[in-house]
Structure 1
Amino acid sequence: MKFVEKIGKTVEEAVVQALKELDATRDEVDVEVLEEPSKGILGLIKVKPARVKVILKDNPLKRASGLLKGIFQTMDLDVKINITENDKTMFINLEGPDLGILIGRRGETLDALQYLVNLSVNKNQEVRKKIIIDIEGYRNRREKTLQRLALKLADKARQRGRNVVLEPMSSQERRIIHTALQGRDDIYTFSEGEEPYRKIIISPKK
């Protein structure tokens, strides 16, 4: 929990100073007044300033954005970060030139980045928020590619009458394959092996 303590002639003046240091708006913080200001009596008693403690509220969106900006700055990448969210999920879409390095082979780098942000943002949180990171529609394109692949290999397994073994995939991509084929009555699918080498088997029904 990030917070600062500030003093000022008035409570409001102390709060404004704290907001500047935290780079936050008034609705992003909680304010605790530690000491009210006093004017003294006839100048015989020293004037006492206001002292406040300003606490930055938990903001998953700002933490996710800050983490990504730090990573991209280190990698010297010019990336535009677009974030939308609902109560349960945060969607982050990245745009910019030459972002293939962030996707990696079959999306492995993108999945690792998504895992890192989920881990960081949800650390020590009572209510976890699912974070999905995409790059200019890559995940949708990849899903359609996997669906076409699933149908093609299912036909191959049925025609040849033997199992077809796919390359190791992430759990998310395996789910796409299973879902694409779950309505078929001529084949069935199952997974075997240990992560990260777990793979799908497409098997014809006898």
Structure 2
Amino acid sequence: MENMIEIKASNKEVAIARATKILEVTADQVVKVTELEKPRSFFGFFAKDGLYKVEISRKVETEEIKISGLNKEVAETVLQAETNIEAEQIKKEARKELKENREKDIVKLSQELLNKMGLELEVEVLRLEGKNCVINLYGEDNGIIIGKKGKTLNSYEYLLNTLIKDVRIDVDVEGFKEKRNVTLRDLARKMAEKAMKTTKPIKLNPMPPRERKIIHEVVNKYSELDTYSEGKDPKRYIVIRKKK
């Protein structure tokens, strides 16, 4: 919104000063000054003011009025909300950066361990949620790191978890563990059927906690059987027997 006023003054600067005072605006809001009549004098006497048209913009003033017109309590609430949003954004970015750095640390340590084993494999983080992390290994030495029935992979996973204390690392090799899970469920059912036919306890080979959990879940569906673990990791194993 544009406003203007005609001011009589001895010069342009005085005209601006008078116009801003009358209209209660600042000099920054003056957009144009036009000289309509020049100031005159007769040999330095009988000076006559000139006439100036001063145009101003009300935009800044309107914004200031809008802000100053806010209820104080509302203004404080808005400010607090903006502060909370900013703080939440900072925390979100910090968590993201922390997660990215944590992933880099896990990949670096996992890769160093593979290098020391002399294996040509790459590491990628599939998922990192809280204190649980799933990483995938891939490369030409897939078969070596898996080993017989996943024993080498289990040993690698166990060693990695002893090095990284604050996060539980689950290591897979291009979907091997899902296939292994199917095999473990089949094994659990076979061993359960075998235990049903004998009074002797059946001992399984040592397994990592994740694999033992699968065996327990399947065998516990047989109401006549009990399962429990003996030994210490990494040689801890499951025992299946009939209930007494």
TM-score when scaled to structure 2? 0.51
1:147-176 deviation digits (Å, cap 9, x = unpaired):
111111111111234432222333332222
Q: Which has the higher helix share?
A: 2
CA contact (8 A) 2:111 2:122 kept: no
Amino acid at match of 1:145: T
State how far apart, in whole Å, the 1-side matches of 2:235 and 2:120 are. Answer: 33
Provide the secondary structure at the position in 2 that maps to 1:174: helix
Structure 2 CA distance, aligned partners of 1:164 and 1:134? 28
- Counterpart pick for 2:204 among 159, 166, 183: 166
What is the aligned partner in structure 2 of residue 134 from structure 1?
A: 172
CA distance in 2, matches of 1:57, 1:186: 49
- Compare CA radii of gyration and give the structure with the larger one: 2
Q: What amino acid maps onto 2:190 in structure 1? A: K
TM-score, normalised via structure 1 length: 0.60
Contact 1:88 1:129 (8 Å CA) reproduced:
yes
In structure 2, do the counterparts of structure 1 residues 102 and 182 end up closer, same or farther at CA, with 3 Å as the change threshold?
same
Give percent identity, aligned residues only: 35
2:131 paired residue among 51, 73, 88: 88
**3-state SS of 1:71 partner:** helix
**Residue in structure 2 matched with residue 115 of structure 1 by the alignment:** 158
Which of 67, 70, 86 is the aligned partner of 2:109?
A: 67
- State the one-letter code of the partner of 1:99: N
| Structure 2: unaligned runs, 5 residues or longer | 1-92
Alignment: residue pair count? 148
In the alignment, structure 1 residue 106 sits paired with structure 2 residue 106: no
1:145 aligns with 2:183: yes
* Cα RMSD, aligned residues only: 2.8
Deviation beyond 4 Å, 4+ runs, structure 1: none
C-alpha contact 1:72 1:78 (8 A) present in aligned 2: yes
Alpha-carbon separation, structure 1, partners of 2:218 and 2:231 = 21
What is the SS of the residue equivalent to 1:160? coil
Structure 2 contact 121–141 (Cα < 8 Å) conserved: no
- 2:74 aligns with none
Once the two structures are TM-superposed, the CA of residue 101 in structure 1 deviates from its matched residue by 1.7
